[in-house]
Amino acid sequence: MDKGKMRPNFYGNNNCKMYLDLKDIIRENALRYLPAKSLFRCTGVCREWELQISTPFFAHNQSNSFHSTSGFFYQTQAGVPSFMSLDPMAYGVPDPPLTFLPEPVDIRASCNGLLCCQGRTGYRAYYICNPVTKRWKELPKPGADHGPDPAVVLLFEPSLLNFIANYKLVCAFPSELGGYEFDIYSSEKGSWRNPGEICFGDWKLLPKSGVHVNGTVYWLSSQGVIAFDLTSERSQLLSSAPGALGMMSGKLCAAYVRGQRLVVSLLSNTHSNTMRLHSDARTWVEIQSDINLDPTVAAESYSYTPYHFSGRYGHGSGGVVFIGDDMVLLRNGNKFYSYDMKKKASNSLGEVNIDSDAGIVVYVNSLVEL
């Protein structure tokens, strides 16, 4: 047999060009799209992958590439922070109780991998942290008293041009003149600022209902939806939302469960309350969707009833807790279910002993650098 004509064994030779090219392609083009927990497992594949994943440049690329909902932070009945993962094999954090922070905290908000917490002692300082890397920063004391349960929304959009996260924290708090005022913290400036806007009205705001969509922050209230435009720094009261607030297709939406169907409405007209009498303009428009929940999930989730400020839409004991572009979190008491709108599949997340007064905060498993 002519050994010179034998084909080389590409599969058994780890030094062959084909093997190295495939390994390099995965390292350079695929790893950054994985969540943080999966990446830590990948560090055991080889020395090159470990070095790649541990660099600040890779962490920067990963925070700009991975944006999928990974799970939810919440407070247990004992007041301890904890994490509910959508997939425990892929998503997770090394210290869910956040013991790396200098004091016990309450979870307030989250955005693209950053978590906002508030201390329980002294003036109740705000902390911004990444629960994956355990890095954190304490914000300076705001000029106004935000109260024991502040309505804060964290804003952070990863940028290829910024290696250090630039974020904002917006807080709506009761004004001494009536209604609500707004405080804005900017990490770029390192200080708080009150724009002087007051949203007057005899109503109460739901602190844990805040969402940010296209430069405007929205909260549920006892009289409707409070909107605060970050560009004009002006606020307005919109008609009541038919469900929990969220974002779909880049627009503000509201969702609730009716029978076995998830009903979603989009914000259509922010000026419908100023239109002429008998106008067809509506603030919220229900969209036609084929989102039908699994009978088990639908039966155990609350259906729609007229709005009650006590927390009908998941901020209390049941219903839609969160809706994003492709993920919905449903709750009935202490039982939680997720629904993937792309795969059209539901999943039971089990039973969790959660503090009924605490919020549930969506989280992205990111390596973002503070």
220 half-sphere exposure, CB direction, 13 A CA radius: 24
Average pLDDT over residues 41-67: 90
pLDDT in tens, 296-325: 665 555 444 333 333 333 343 358 999 987
Domain containing residue 296: CATH number? 2.120.10.30
Q: Could you tell me the pLDDT band of residue 335, with boundaries at 50, 70 and 90?
A: confident
Residue 33 included in any domain = no
Strand 135-138 to strand 151-156: parallel, antiparallel, or no bridges (unpaired)? Answer: unpaired
Residue 302 lies in a domain: yes
Q: What does the alpha-carbon distance between residue 299 and residue 305 come to, in Å, rounded to a whole number?
A: 15
In a domain, 30, yes or no: no
Query: What's the number of domains the chain is made of?
Result: 1
pLDDT for res 13:
53
Is the torsion defined by CA of 128, 255, 253, 148 positive or negative? negative
Judge whether 23 lies within some domain: no
DSSP 229-253: ETTTTEEEEEPPPSSEEEEETTEEE
Is residue 35 a part of any domain in this protein?
no
Evaluate whether residue 2 is within a structural domain: no
Q: What is the pLDDT of residues 103-143, one digit of tens each?
A: 999 999 999 999 999 999 999 999 999 999 999 999 999 99
| Beta carbons within 10 angstroms of residue 105's beta carbon | 27
**pLDDT, tens digit, for every residue of 71-114?**
999 998 888 999 999 999 999 999 999 999 999 999 999 999 99
Q: Which residue has the higher pLDDT, 156 or 17?
A: 156
Domain that holds residue 205: 55-306+313-364
CA Rg value for the chain? 23
d(CA 232, CA 196): 12
Residue 29 lies in a domain: no
| Residue 161 belongs to a domain | yes
- DSSP one-letter code for 207: G
Q: In whole numbers, what is the pLDDT of the chain averaged over residues?
A: 84
Distance separating alpha carbons of residues 313 and 221, to the nearest angstrom: 12
**Cα–Cα distance for residue pair 93/100, rounded to 1 Å:** 12
The two structure tokens encoding residue 119: 């201390």
Is the pLDDT reported for residue 257 higher than 90?
Answer: no
